[in-house]
Amino acid sequence: MVTWSRFNIASIVFGFAFLYLPIVLLVIFSFNESKLVTVWAGFSTKWYVQLLHNQALLDAAWVTVRVGLISATVATVLGTLAALAMTRYTRFRGRMLFSGMIYAPLVMPEVITGLSMLLLFVAVGLDRGFWTLTLAHITFTMCFVAVVVQSRLLSFDRSIEEAAMDLGATPVATFLQVTLPVIAPAVFSGWVLAFTLSLDDLVISNFTSGPGATTLPMKIYSQVRLGVTPEINAVCTILIGIVAMGVLVASVVSRRREIQRVKDEQAAFAL
Amino acid sequence: MSKFGSAIFNRLVIIIPYVWLTVFFLAPFFIVLRISLSETAIAMPPYLPVFNLADGISGIVEKIGQLSTANYEFLASDALYTNAYLSSLRIAVVSTIVTLMIAYPIAYSMAKAPTSIRPTLLMLVILPFWTSFLIRVYAWIAILKPEGLLNQFLLTLGVIDEPLIILNTNWAIYIGIVYSYLPFMVLPIYSSLEKMDHSLTEAAQDLGCTPICAFWRVTFPLSLPGVIAGCMLVFIPAVGEFVIPDLLGGSETLMIGKTLWNEFNSNRDWPISAAVATILLLILVVPIMFFQHAQAKADGEGK
């Protein structure tokens, strides 16, 4: 029996208080009546109402969502392929370089990634805007998808794939009908992760975006530089809400899937 | 036919992501290197020479001759840049150590938590990681301001008589980095501790080791892969951090990510920013390769 000491409980409580207190305070002050974000003056939702009339902000939100949806979807396809390549083919020419290109973007300072992608777009003569932004987001988020899917593939029982192939299924059919259903929860959480990363990104977006393609974080950043206002708190609260909901849905879906899988396996053994 | 199809499928699985990453991730670094050897010009793109296939081979050869290391000589001669690199490294090292000291007890306690609540705890650590970096850094401004929530709280308690000046100092940067990167440190340490066999520490204690000695001689060494991964995940991005020094730091704070951003966005000096990025990449290439190696090894063991 492992005991949970007072020290353990204290570390967890303090750790989580540190992680969550700033976010909680930010959310609370988005409902502040006063324009000051440090003095409480009563409950109000007026900042949210004001948001609805801020056309520039709404436009930015729309750009952000579109970039997020497109880039997360493409990144999920590419990242899943990359994960397959990493786990299934342990030796091919340039595998070291390949795994380097998967892991390096995870830690690469964003200023470097952003600048280098921008210079690529300029060098090939692409006009900066919505599509360059989307390309950049696909590139840096696909590596996160690859890592998430890879960890699922590593614990995947390959014998069922071999069985399908022995029964005459083509590799594509095997992948679509056998592998994909099993790794679907990981692919889905990869998509959600890619979407939120795209939604949140400031630095890479700032380098690779152009006129007419201002994202929400870029807009928030330019307003934050002018000072802290409850209106920004309100935008942030909405974003936090969306992300929290997405993560919650993703975890419920994957837990349901897991329960279903265990049930199916038990049923199969019972036969 | 099926064999042929299978060969093509296998090839495509590797080739598509490979080509994508080569074009959009690897190739740009060579462009950065090349532009760092150019000179600034008032044009679009704002540097010279611009290579053009229409020049023919002789034209390109002539333009290669125009490339120079003047930007690097400039970086080396101006103490501002050297100081920015050094101060970024110092800030990143200190924050990594502090993050480790805060994250380890959390990860350790999570790994010892009852199995039933572990998924919830894990979820709670991951959640802030999904929330915008910008928002989390922004949240600290209202807390750390001279008339901010922390100072109000401490003044009410009577701990201090006058507001502490934290915002726009290096203290705020340390707080920002530790706070933002904490989940990156907790997660790998937790996953290495969770896999650990508890009978090992029990065995050590049975053999006469005190709990503290068992921790340092058994638990901690076994969690080292997680500690190393966590340190890399914090240190490498922290060196090039931009948002935190920009929003929380003061005007006297030098960090190279901020310098690069200003050279590019305010001074519009592309060649100098490219040179700054190249040096930063050279500094980080060893830690990045180390991280990749450790990560690939950990994934290999998972098989």
Measured between CA atoms, how close is A117 to chain B, in angstroms?
Answer: 6
On whether residue B16 sits in a domain, the answer given is: no
pLDDT of residue A39: 74
pLDDT of residue B53: 61
The DSSP letter of residue A213 is -
The domains found in chain A, sorted by start residue, are: 49-270 (1.10.3720.10)
On whether residue B37 sits in a domain, the answer given is: no
pLDDT of residue B155: 86
pLDDT of residue A228: 76
pLDDT at residue A248 greater than cutoff 60: yes
pLDDT of residue A1: 41
Alpha helix segments (H runs only) across B113-207: 118-130, 133-144, 149-157, 170-194, 198-206
On whether residue B55 sits in a domain, the answer given is: no
Measured between CA atoms, how close is B135 to chain A, in angstroms?
Answer: 6
Q: Which residues of B touch A211 (CB under 8 A)?
A: none
The answer, for A148 touching chain B at a CB cutoff of 8 Å, is no
Q: From the list B14, B45, B270, which residue is nearest A92 (CB)?
A: B14
Condensed to tens digits (0 to 9), the pLDDT of residues B274-287 reads 999 999 999 998 89
pLDDT band, very low/low/confident/very high, at B174 (cuts 50, 70, 90) = very high
pLDDT at residue B49 greater than cutoff 80: no
Q: Which residue of B has its CA nearest to A196?
A: B130
Q: From the list B35, B261, B292, which residue is nearest A100 (CB)?
A: B292
Condensed to tens digits (0 to 9), the pLDDT of residues B199-258 reads 888 888 888 888 888 888 888 898 998 999 999 999 999 999 999 999 998 887 889 999
**Range of lowest pLDDT (A236-240, B15-19, B26-30, B239-243):** A236-240
d(CA B254, CA B277): 15
The answer, for B21 touching chain A at a CB cutoff of 8 Å, is yes
Q: How many domains are contained in chain B?
A: 1
pLDDT of residue A2: 53
Share of chain B above pLDDT 90, in %: 32
Mean of the per-residue pLDDT values for chain B?
Answer: 85
pLDDT of residue B55: 66
Mean of the per-residue pLDDT values for chain A?
Answer: 86
Cross-chain Cβ contact A11/B106 below 8 Å? yes
Of the candidates B244, B44, B292, the residue with the CA atom closest to the CA atom of residue A98: B292
Cross-chain Cβ contact B24/A100 below 8 Å? no
pLDDT of residue B302: 45
Mean pLDDT of B18-43: 87
On whether residue B196 sits in a domain, the answer given is: yes
Which of B74 and B1 is assigned the larger pLDDT? B74
Share of chain A above pLDDT 90, in %: 31
The domain spanning residue B114 has which CATH number?
Answer: 1.10.3720.10
CB contacts < 8 A (A, B) = 265
Measured CA to CA in angstroms, residue B186 lies from A88, A97, B234 at distances of 30, 28, 11
pLDDT of residue A92: 77
Condensed to tens digits (0 to 9), the pLDDT of residues B153-173 reads 888 888 888 888 888 888 999
Burial of A41 (0-12, 13-18, 19+ CB in 10 A): exposed
Q: Which residues of A touch B289 (CB under 8 A)?
A: 100
Alpha helix segments (H runs only) across chain A: 6-29, 46-52, 55-88, 95-107, 110-123, 130-154, 159-166, 171-174, 180-200, 203-208, 216-224, 230-270
Q: Which residues of A touch B102 (CB under 8 A)?
A: 15, 18
Cross-chain Cβ contact B24/A139 below 8 Å? yes
pTM: 0.87
Query: Which range is most confident: A232-236, B70-74, B258-262?
Result: B258-262
User: 23-52 in A: which are within 8 Å (CB) of B?
Assistant: 23, 25-26, 29, 37-38
Cross-chain Cβ contact A116/B17 below 8 Å? no
pLDDT of residue B303: 40
pLDDT at residue B296 greater than cutoff 90: no
On whether residue B12 sits in a domain, the answer given is: no
Of the candidates A76, A116, A88, A82, the residue with the CA atom closest to the CA atom of residue A100: A82
Burial of A22 (0-12, 13-18, 19+ CB in 10 A): buried
| b/e code B180-208 from CB counts within 10 Å (16+ = b) | bbbbbbbbbbbbbbbeeeeeebeebeeee
Of the candidates B300, B22, B6, B13, the residue with the CA atom closest to the CA atom of residue A82: B13
pLDDT of residue B1: 42
On whether residue B245 sits in a domain, the answer given is: yes
Range(s) of the domain holding residue B174: 76-301
pLDDT of residue B5: 65
Cross-chain Cβ contact A85/B14 below 8 Å? yes
On whether residue B258 sits in a domain, the answer given is: yes
Please state the φ and ψ torsions of residue B224, each to the nearest 5 degrees.
-55, -40
Q: Which residue of B has its CA nearest to A20?
A: B128
pLDDT at residue A143 greater than cutoff 90: yes
**Range of lowest pLDDT (A118-122, B46-50, B181-185):** B46-50
On whether residue B63 sits in a domain, the answer given is: no
The answer, for B274 touching chain A at a CB cutoff of 8 Å, is yes
Mean pLDDT of B114-123: 85
Which of B179 and A242 is assigned the larger pLDDT? B179
